[in-house]
Amino acid sequence: MESKKPTLHVFGGGELVKDCETIALENGWDFVLRTGERFVSSLPAMLDSTKVLVGNSLKNLMDEGGLPDDSDIGISLSAPWVIPSSIINLFDGRLFNLHHAPLPKFRGAGGPCWRIMMNDRSGGVCIHELVPGIDAGDILASVHFDFPADLQFPAEYDSFILKHSKKLFIKWLNAALSSDISLIKQNAKPQVGEGEYWPRLHTDTHGWIDWSWSIDDIISFCHAFSHPYPGALTMIQNNLIRIKKLSREVEPHKFHPFQTGLIFRKDSKKIWVAHPDGALILEDFLIEQDEVKLRLGDRLYSPAEKLEIALKTRIQYKPDGNVFEN
């Protein structure tokens, strides 16, 4: 009787899924993909002969797809779930994650958003073992780099990360499917307290602009919630406005703090907003009500209760393994 092929179990989605399938089949492995509904639109053109399981409940997908055998390997690629201990334990040390930041410094799913907000250009990619605890497993492979100064938005950071992670990931996965994984470990588990936690942000809760911040902090904050996200939030004429791109006016201006947020110039595409540090130019924004006509002297503002909620709301993973809501 022919022995059962080992299976590569992939959780998540993205461009590297196709590479996973190709490498698995070339190495004589079976392949199964468990993914959330937000990845579905990109899957048909990507995969050739893969067993694809789609749903928002990871537990149901595990029951449907079958449990891993002793020789199987799992890999998480931007998985839309927090994979619980019950599933991690099924793989007995053979479930791994591609993390889009250096470890242990940048644990958590916040990705480039925090980096943009903090004007931190340091970056990297790590492949590590999944264990109970946030990005706390052994590091098997890693690469470090700096983001170019001309990158502004999360989508640009994501593209740069993918470019640098693909070569590392393909090399590691080929080795993992053809040899003892323990032979390619590079670093021991980080010591307790060594890492920092930077969780996923949620735009509607955490994305409110505080106009008392400096111009530079406002710009970096708005860009952190920009493409592919819907934009940082504020109000005008009692209507929600989402800001995706803005810049500092080169022409020097002097405004009193009382003038903060006032529109003092506008054209068909942009508006100029007063700030004690100078002036901001809003270049890409969307007002919730299309019929709102912006007027000189209108003020951008964020309700105090929204800012208070943003600061008081604990930023955390959902413990039940369900899909995150952006």
pLDDT digits 0-9 by tens, 308-319: 988 877 654 443
Tell me the two tokens of residue 201.
């942000």
CB atoms within 10 A of CB 160: 17
Query: For residues 14 and 36, is the Cβ–Cβ distance under 8 A?
Result: no
Kindly report, residue by residue over 67-89, the tens digit of the pLDDT.
888 889 999 998 878 888 999 99
CATH number of 7-184: 3.40.50.12230
CB atoms within 10 A of CB 44: 8
Rounded to the nearest 10 degrees, the angle between the axes of helix 154-178 and helix 16-26 is 10
CATH number of 203-312: 3.10.25.10
Residue 324 has pLDDT above 70, yes or no: no
How would residue 181 be classed by pLDDT, with cut points 50, 70 and 90?
low
Residue 189 has pLDDT above 60, yes or no: no
Residue 186 has pLDDT above 50, yes or no: no
**Average pLDDT rounded to a whole number, residues 135-149:** 89
Q: Identify which of 159, 145, 156, 101 has the alpha carbon closest to the alpha carbon of residue 127.
A: 101
**Average pLDDT rounded to a whole number, residues 57-75:** 85
What pLDDT, on the 0 to 100 scale, is given for residue 42?
A: 67
Query: Is 116 in a helix, a strand, or coil?
Result: helix
**Average pLDDT rounded to a whole number, residues 298-321:** 75
Residue 45 has pLDDT above 60, yes or no: no
What 8-state DSSP symbol labels residue 299?
Answer: B
Domain boundaries, the chain: 7-184, 203-312
- Report the alpha-carbon distance of residue 160 to residue 144 in Å, rounded: 12
- Of 66 and 126, more confident: 126
What pLDDT, on the 0 to 100 scale, is given for residue 50?
A: 65
